Every structure is written in structure tokens, then in C-alpha cells.
Structure 1
Amino acid sequence: MAETAVSVVVPALDAAATIATQLDALAAQDADVGWEVVVVDNGSTDATVEVCRTYAAVLPSLRVISCTTPGTSAARNAGAAAAFGKLLLFCDADDQVAPGWLAAMTRALTHTDADAAGGAIENDLLNPGSQPYLPRHPDHLPVVAGFLPRAITANLAVRRDAFEALGGFAPEYDYGGPDTEFCWRLQLAGFRLAYAPDAVVHYRHRHELRAVARKAYRTGISRGRLFRDYARHGMPRPRLVGVLVRWAGLAAQAPVALLSPRVRWRWTEQASAAAGRVSGSVRFRVLYL
């Protein structure tokens, strides 16, 4: 096999029910460079590792390593440290890369001056019959909190030299905003983040309202941490009038949320995020509502 130029890092925790879909998609990739897949088992108690081992014939470059430190950031850092490639591609164990994903990500980092790239997120394939009001990812790299754009770690590529210069992902952000913090830190260090629209990942959304609320709450908390760490770099504080309008809107829509599933979904997400920002403000001793 050609010298390994690209390493695909896949963190996995109790992913036996979904990881085969991702490994099948990776096995079908066609690229003219040497590449490998590094699955990082993050303490699974199910058959995740056993499922991966069944792919030895169709994915001979597949390696499974263990990371005993909890959290996806620690797992991704461990995978990057064990990887051989100069280009690091990150995807998740519960999603599905589209045909041509690996080649498109490789082009994004070798045929341009980008140091990192975020690919496109497709919202429908793995969510058949889902409610139309489920959260959806946009067809671009969104600007977060009015500051800088970010790519999500479910579809991210980074040059190894840039990744190592940054020290990898920050584990303290693991439960809210590790991708945002990494992409901000990357851009502030002078590295370039690009969008790779041809590198598509089919994303598996959360289908339970409780899971959406938990994610929104954790993201809200992380905004306090981000503001503590990045206000001096230009991250703006929400305007008071906007905060008041948001809270008034939540209060006004609360009765409607009891009757309408569409309103309830959006209201729960927004209310959880608002509660998280309050909690984050207290925890990190900032005012970010």
C-alpha cells in the first residue's frame, strides 16, 4: 500500500448499533492516496470493538485503539496521536460519509491554501420520516455567537502540522462547543478554515426532545466558557435588548408550546439554551445571557 497520507479518525462509545454503517461507507471510498482508519474506542461496554474487527478484510488499514480518558475530544486527540497520516479527517461513529468524501476532503487541504476544512452536512438520509422541525445544519460554515465560523467535528479535516501546533482539541470543552473552540483557536492562530461542499456527511440527528434539550443546555453553558476565554479576542456579548426580547418570546410562547409539537420542539431547545447560558454565566463568572 502507498505511504499513508490520510488518516480518518473515528471516536466511538457504545456504537455497535451504528458504526457498521460508517465503516461500510468508508470501505467504499475511492482515493488515489494511501489512507487508514483509526477507530478510537472510548470505553465501550457493547460490541463496538467486535463489530470493527469484522472489517479486517474490507478495510485492511483499519486499526482500533483504546482511549480510557472519557470524552470525544480526548478520543480524537488519541486517534490523531496514533495516526500515521499528514492529513487528519474526523467523522463520527453514528453518521455516514457520502461517496467521494475522503477524496473531496483531501483535495480541500492539498489543492488550496486551507489548513482545515469543514464539509457539508446532509440532514435527511439517516433521519427518514423525521419531524420537519428537527434542528438542521446549514449548507455553509455558520458564524457562531456573532464571532467566527466553525465546522463540526462530524465532518472536519485538519493538516497535522496545524493540529499539533494548536495542541489538538480542548477536553474541557467536551460537553459543549469543542468544535467551535477548536475552529476559533485555529483561525486566531493564523490558520485558514475553508468550506468543502463536496465532502458530504449524512448526519444522524437526535430524535428525542430530551436529548435535544440536553445538547442545547450544554451548548448554552459552553457559551459562558467561550466568552470568558474569547471576549478579549473580540467575541461579542449579546445585547441586553436582544436578551430581553428572547426571554419575553419564550414566556409568550410557553402556552402554545403545550399544544403544538412544532413550537414545543423549538421552545424547548431555545429555553434549554437560555438556561444553559445562565448556568454558564454563574459557573464561569461572566455575564453572557
Structure 2
Amino acid sequence: MNLSVIIACYNAGDTIVMQLEALAQQKWSEPWEIIFADNGSTDETIASIEKFQNKIPNLRLVDASKKRGAAHARNVGVSIAKGKALAFCDADDIIAPSWVAAMGEALKKYDFVAGQKDYKKLNEPWVFECFGIQETGLHEAAGYLPFAGANNLGVKRSIHEAIGGFDESILGIEDVDYCWRIQQSGTKLHYIPEALIYFRFRHTLKGMYLRSWNMGCQEPLLYRKHLPKGMPRLITWKTFVKAAVVLPLHLLLKVRDKKSLGRWLMDFAWRTGQFKGCIQYGYNPFTQLNFG
């Protein structure tokens, strides 16, 4: 088996059929498999996957519900994978028709790759504009290493195993940590625009808020982990002083419609989440030292 596609899933019943249909249309001349690692779904997710097992060769489903989080689910999926190379995508997105072939061929040439995202196809205009994302390839952390989401990522299995897989203590931004640790081990991240996925944002104000809150809460843990490895301090006391001034002003002066409200809610959730995370994970934004 040359390639294993690993898909972590949890209560994706509303979207997973579209991803399954996209997987069923994939063509690549070399042997590959699909592994869905279910993190404890209680909706129609598992039933939907089982319906496609006769339609898609080498489709497997594994129980990954022992521990919460996509990191754990992906690690469980890799543990039963047969491929020499691994490709990760998500159950709520849709891969383009040539995604598997593009990933498979890229991983013959490179050890670590990330594909392109289209943000417009699956999202209403106000949602896309609310998030304000312009990048279609790699993301940059100010003054540090690039990263990409695990919704469109490929790596040689030997490298995944060498770094110990995804860090299961990080929830929501474990893919950033994963990318950084692989690069710290000496492996470059290559951008492969041919490996295209259609990305789905959260479509409700509540969903947007919770996503940003979770990311903010986890960032201090991520940053504390990487500060000793040369990462600059991206959360300082100035971060919270600025937020305390700017957020109320933006609420009064800039929130005029659903899009601007969504943008403000995400900013508010992100900064308040960061503050909570600093306390929870012992990240001190006021000094060069950490609490504890």
C-alpha cells in the first residue's frame, strides 16, 4: 500500500456523505486506502461510512473514541494504516477530483506536503468575508515556521512516527504543533497547489465564536511548548491591553451587520480564550518566565 488517507470524524452526519462521494470518484494508478477514525459519533456518521464500504475499495472504519480530540483519532487511524505515506483530510470538507493522485505523487518527491484550499465553494459570501482569509496555501506565524491545517496535509509515515504523531494534549490547533515539530526535525514543508480541497467554515455565529474561543484557549499551551525552541513571544501584556481598548471601540463603531458582528465575536472569543489559556497553562505574558 503506497498511500493511506486518514480522516478523523465526529458527528459529521450532515456533511460526510459529500466527502465520501468525492472519495469514491478518486482515481490513482497505485494502491491506496481510506481510514475513517471515529472519535465517538452519536449521529449518522458511522452509518454513512458503512454504506460506502461496498462502493469504495479499501475503505476501513476504526473506533477512535477512547480519548477526545482529532489528534487522538488521527493517531489511531495511522496505527492501523498500511501505507508508506499518509494523507490527512477532514470529514466536513470536500476533496477535489484529483486530490488523492496529487497527494500520492507529491509524497513520492517530498517528505512533507500541504495542499491548496478553496474557501468560497462551500461557504456563503458573508461567512467567507467574515473570516477574511486570503491565503490559499501555507499559513505563517509571525517570525516563525509556516504551517498548514491537517485538513490537507501529507507526510511520510516514517516521519510521523519519528516525532510521535500528533500531540493529543492539544485540542483544535494540534496540526500547527505537528507542522512545527516536523520542521524542527529537519523536514521542509512543501506547498502542492494541485492537491485541492474545498474547505467548510462554521456557518453560525455560535459556531464561529466557539471555534475562535477554543483556538485562543489552546494557543498559550502551544506557544509555551515552542518558546524554548526559538519561537518569538506572540502573546504579551500588550496583546491584552490593546484588545481591552480596541474591542469595545470596534463594537461601537464597526459592528453594523451579521458579517461585522461575526468578525467581532471571533476577535472577542479569541482574545478572551487566550487570557483563559494563559492562566490554565501557565503562560505569563508579562515576563520572559512562565508561571509554575
Structure 1 and Structure 2 fold alike (TM over 0.5):
yes
1:151 aligned residue: 148
SS in structure 2 opposite 1:283?
helix
Deviation at 1:259, TM superposition (A): 3.3
2:62 aligned residue: 65
Q: Identify which of 6, 14, 30 aligns with 1:9.
A: 6
- Judge which range, 77-86 or 186-195, deviates more: 186-195
Q: Does 1:280 pair with 2:277?
A: yes
Q: Does 1:94 pair with 2:92?
A: yes
Letter in 1 for 2:121: L
Letter in 2 for 1:177: I
1:75 aligned residue: 73
**Structure 1 residues 272 and 98: alpha-carbon distance in aligned structure 2, compared to 1, 3 A threshold:** same
Q: Identify which of 236, 245, 249 aligns with 2:232.
A: 236
Deviation at 1:262, TM superposition (A): 2.9
2:208 aligned residue: 212
Structure 1 segments of 4 or more deviating over 4 A?
A: 239-243
- Judge which range, 56-65 or 73-82, deviates more: 56-65
**Structure 1 residues 253 and 130: alpha-carbon distance in aligned structure 2, compared to 1, 3 A threshold:** closer
Deviation at 1:145, TM superposition (A): 4.7
Q: Does 1:183 pair with 2:190?
A: no
Q: How many percent identity over aligned positions? A: 33
2:122 aligned residue: 126
Q: How many residues align?
A: 283
Q: Does 1:196 pair with 2:192?
A: yes
1:115 aligned residue: 111
Q: Does 1:50 pair with 2:47?
A: yes
Q: Identify which of 161, 164, 183 aligns with 1:167.
A: 164
Runs of 5+ in structure 2 lacking a partner? Answer: 287-292
SS in structure 1 opposite 2:23?
helix
Deviation at 1:205, TM superposition (A): 0.9
- Judge which range, 184-193 or 10-19, deviates more: 10-19
Deviation at 1:50, TM superposition (A): 1.9
Distance 2:279 2:99 in 1: 42
2:290 aligned residue: none
Deviation at 1:74, TM superposition (A): 0.7
**Structure 1 residues 46 and 262: alpha-carbon distance in aligned structure 2, compared to 1, 3 A threshold:** closer
Deviation at 1:219, TM superposition (A): 1.1
Q: Does the CA-based 8 Å contact 1:223-1:288 persist in structure 2? A: no
Runs of 5+ in structure 1 lacking a partner? Answer: none
Deviation at 1:220, TM superposition (A): 1.2
CA displacement, residues 34-74 of structure 1 (integer Å, 9 cap, x when unaligned): 00111112212222222112213320211111112221111
Deviation at 1:167, TM superposition (A): 0.8
2:253 aligned residue: 256
Distance 1:273 1:145 in 2: 17
Q: Does the CA-based 8 Å contact 2:127-2:201 persist in structure 1? A: no
TM-score for both structures, normalised by structure 1: 0.91
Letter in 2 for 1:125: K
Q: Does the CA-based 8 Å contact 1:170-1:181 persist in structure 2? A: yes
Letter in 2 for 1:47: E
Q: Does 1:271 pair with 2:277?
A: no
TM-score for both structures, normalised by structure 2: 0.91
**Structure 1 residues 273 and 146: alpha-carbon distance in aligned structure 2, compared to 1, 3 A threshold:** farther
Distance 2:43 2:204 in 1: 22
**Structure 1 residues 87 and 101: alpha-carbon distance in aligned structure 2, compared to 1, 3 A threshold:** same
- Judge which range, 156-165 or 254-263, deviates more: 254-263
Measured on the aligned residues, the alpha-carbon RMSD in Å equals 1.9
Distance 1:149 1:247 in 2: 29
Distance 1:188 1:132 in 2: 32
CA displacement, residues 86-134 of structure 1 (integer Å, 9 cap, x when unaligned): 11111111111001111111222212xx321111111122224554423
